[in-house]
Homo-oligomer: A and B are copies of this chain.
Amino acid sequence: MAERTYGQFCGFARAVEVVGERWAFLIIRDLLARPKRFTDLLNGLPGIPTNVLTTRLKELEQAGVLRRRVLPRPAGSIVYELTEHGAELEDTVMALGRWGAKTLDTPREGEIITVDSLIMAFRTIFQAHEARGVTVSYELSFGDIVLHIRIDKGKIRVGAGPLPEADLILEAGPGIKALMAGEITPAQALADGTVHIVRGTRKEFVRFAQLFKIDVSPAQQQALA
C-alpha cells in the first residue's frame, strides 16, 4: 500500500494524511455519533464503494483512530468504534461543520440528509451557555429521519430514533437551516410551514430556537471557555 504522504514533519500534515483521504472524515463523523456496523456506515455514506469503505476502515484502524470489535454472543456481529484518540477529533469535526454550515443554503439535486449528520449538526450548534441548568427534551423528524435531543441540566445528548415523551415534537425540512442561521424567526418558520409543531407550545419552540444556532462568533466561544 503506497502511503500518500505530504513529506512534511508537521502535526497538521500528519493529521491531514489520516483524515484527508476521500470519505475518511465522514466515516469519523458518523462514528462520533455512535459505533456502527459496516452496513450502517454504507447506508450513511451515499455512494461510497464497499472496497473504499473497507480500505478506509483498515487505514483508520492502523492509524489508531478506530477499532474493529466483534460483539459478544449471540449477536456475534462486528462494530466499528472510535478509539479515545479518534474521539478527540470531535472538536475538529465541530469546528469544520460550523464553518461549512455558514455557506450551506439549499439542498443540491439528489442530496440526502442522514441521521448521523444531523446528530453531529445539533451537537455542533448547541448553545451550551444558553442552556445553563435547563432540562428539556425534543423529538425532531425530517421526512423519514427521526432523532431526539435530551438536555439534562444543561448537558446535551443527541441520538437517533424517536422520543415519544419529549416536551416538544417537531416536523421540519431542510428549510430549518434558515431558522438556525437566524435568517428567519421562529414565528416565520411556523407561518411558512418550514417547521410544524406536533406537540408542545410555541414558547417551547422559541426556546428551542435559542438553544440551537449556527453563527457563533469565535470571540463569543472563547468567552465561554
Contact = CB atoms under 8 A, between A and B. Distances in A.
Most buried by B among A19, A91, A219: A91
Contact of A26 (B16, B22, B88, B220): B16
The complex is assembled from copies of this chain, and their number is 2
A8 B114 contact: yes
A158 interface: no
Interface residues of A, number: 61
Given A96-B12, A121-B12, A217-B85, A6 B19 contact: no
A97 B12 contact: yes
A174 interface: yes
A24 to B, nearest CB: 9
Given A6-B23, A6-B26, 8 more contacts: A5-B111, A7-B47, A8-B113, A12-B29, A13-B117, A19-B96, A89-B99, A92-B95
Interface of A: 4-16, 18-20, 22-23, 25-26, 29, 45-47, 64, 83-85, 88-89, 91-93, 95-104, 107-108, 110-114, 117-118, 120-121, 124, 174, 214, 217-220
